[in-house]
Amino acid sequence: MDNKDIRSEAYSSLLGHKQSQKGIFNIIIIVLIFSLVSGFLGYYVGDNGYFRYLTGLLNNESRSPDAKIYTEQELATIINPNAYDMNLYQQLIANLKDKYVDPKQIDEAKLFDSSLKGLVEGVGDPATVYMNPEDFKQYQQSFSGTFEGIGVRLEYDKNRIVVSDVIQNSPAEKADVKEGYIFLQVDGKSVEQDTLDELVQKVRGQSGSKVKIKFFDTLRNESIDKEITRGPVNVESIRVIRKDQETAILEVSRFTEPTVEEWERKWDAAVKEINDKGYSKVILDLRGNLGGYLAAGIYAANDFMEPGKLVVTERTRNGGDKEVKTTNNNPKLKDKKVVILINGGTASAAEILAGALSYNNKYKVVGTKSYGKGTVQMTYKLYNGGAIKITTEYWLLPNGKRLDNQNPITPDTDITQDPVKFREGVDIQLEKALEIINQ
């Protein structure tokens, strides 16, 4: 059934009102609400059962599934018609248009867009969100090497979102943003209660647009206002950095590329470089890595772990568990001495990898506690060009505990970055990792 051809008669018996009492605007509202709810019964995309996209994003080769439009009979078994009062919805808009002190401020399209976001926020899960077409476009960009924004890496530290690193030649660097700055406001609105994902969506935007950010500099004990002109930012997902003749730093900034296959090719190239150059020690740097494809995290684990080791358990909607194990018969990095670096910006698939390697291979972990995002989201495209991202699974670590903000990855050696030294080019977390790997 085409979304745009749904007739009001299909909903009259369900909602207990006639079309004449509601009008076309109500029908549009209903259709969109049903589209949002439909994602809960959606499906996964992937290969061989477990190669699922962490977020089900739209990419160049694999499209997000469309949000389903349910039949009248299906809706009757899912939706409670007594929970919605569409007349009240219209009355609110009418009162605003008729009585608000500045009529120019009342934009019905903007009100409707905000109401959709509020509807999904009512679930109480910050990872389950509605994205309008512009939000969705920016979200898609985050899964490629180039995106538009200010160019900083983030860390969650003591309930604050902190700049952990400033990307070279980025708008943030040009605006003299420093490591250790704490986010207070974006465009005049507090972000102190935001999640990492929420803050990222507010800071990113089209090149040439401006964003006003209020930071707090703990070194100077003062707030700093910056107006930053957004621009293109390019970040390599994987880099091999030579530290010395024996030691390579394997820096993985994200588990995404336009496709998971492209990410895997880059990973394979990095592993080959480590082996070809004869490095015997590897520092796996996952700091500031917000995750990406779960399949990519599992793929990386295969190069460290013997076959048959448990990486993660996925707990699904109906309470069932599905174990995901490594399957590679030739782990190419298994003979390396490895230390892992994490911080409060290490999330999702990056946490899964760190947790699996720590538990199975007993690799030492250095840094600060990870973010604690142990959920899987799928993204379903709506016919208005937007999308809804829905949490569909929970993750259990190999020790059987659920990964969340109460049970993140805890480092063996807890060491907080020193922003003064870091600005001077001294990375004390990396130095500690080198000290441990050389013991």
Could you tell me if residue 80 is inside a domain?
A: yes
Give the CATH number, domain containing residue 400: 3.90.226.10
* 428's tokens: 């004390």
pTM (two decimals): 0.73
- Identify the CA nearest to 409 among candidates 358, 339, 337: 358
User: Nearest 5°: CA angle at 151, between 166 and 268?
Assistant: 90
Is residue 75 located within the same domain as residue 175? no
Is residue 248 located within the same domain as residue 210? no
Is residue 221 located within the same domain as residue 307? no
Is residue 221 located within the same domain as residue 271? no
Could you tell me if residue 387 is inside a domain?
A: no
Place of tokens 């990375």: 427
- Identify the CA nearest to 208 among candidates 149, 126, 274, 131: 149
Separation between Cα atoms, residue 340 and residue 320, nearest integer Å: 31
What's the confidence (pLDDT) of residue 201?
81
Domain count, the chain: 3
Give one DSSP letter per residue of 416-428, joined into a string.
Answer: ---HHHHHTT--H
Q: Identity (one letter) of the amino acid at 254? A: R
* pLDDT tens, position by position, 197-238: 789 889 988 899 999 999 999 888 999 999 999 998 888 899
Spatial neighbors of 317 by CB under 8 A, at least 6 apart, are 40, 392, 393
Could you tell me if residue 284 is inside a domain?
A: yes
Element holding 332 (H helix, E strand) = none
Name the domain boundary from 52, 80, 106. 106
Could you tell me if residue 362 is inside a domain?
A: yes
Separation between Cα atoms, residue 99 and residue 86, nearest integer Å: 20
Q: Are 356 and 311 in contact (CB under 8 A)?
A: yes
Could you tell me if residue 310 is inside a domain?
A: yes
Place of tokens 């379903």: 380
Name the domain boundary from 211, 234, 257. 234
Name the domain boundary from 201, 234, 267. 234
Residue 67 lies in domain = 3-41+60-106
Q: Identity (one letter) of the amino acid at 237? A: S
Is residue 426 located within the same domain as residue 327? yes
Is residue 175 located within the same domain as residue 97? no
Is residue 162 located within the same domain as residue 255? no
Is residue 272 located within the same domain as residue 420? yes
- Identify the CA nearest to 261 among candidates 114, 437, 432, 51: 51
Could you tell me if residue 89 is inside a domain?
A: yes
Q: Identity (one letter) of the amino acid at 398? A: P
Is residue 419 located within the same domain as residue 348? yes
What's the confidence (pLDDT) of residue 53?
25
Is residue 180 located within the same domain as residue 261? no
Q: Are 58 and 7 in contact (CB under 8 A)?
A: no
Q: Identity (one letter) of the amino acid at 76? A: A
Could you tell me if residue 300 is inside a domain?
A: yes
Is residue 315 located within the same domain as residue 422? yes
Could you tell me if residue 401 is inside a domain?
A: yes
Q: Are 153 and 252 in contact (CB under 8 A)?
A: no
* pLDDT tens, position by position, 137-164: 877 766 655 578 899 988 888 789 999 8
Is residue 285 located within the same domain as residue 368? yes
Separation between Cα atoms, residue 431 and residue 291, nearest integer Å: 24
Q: What stretches in the chain show pLDDT beneath 70?
A: 1-63, 141-146
* 172's tokens: 């943030």
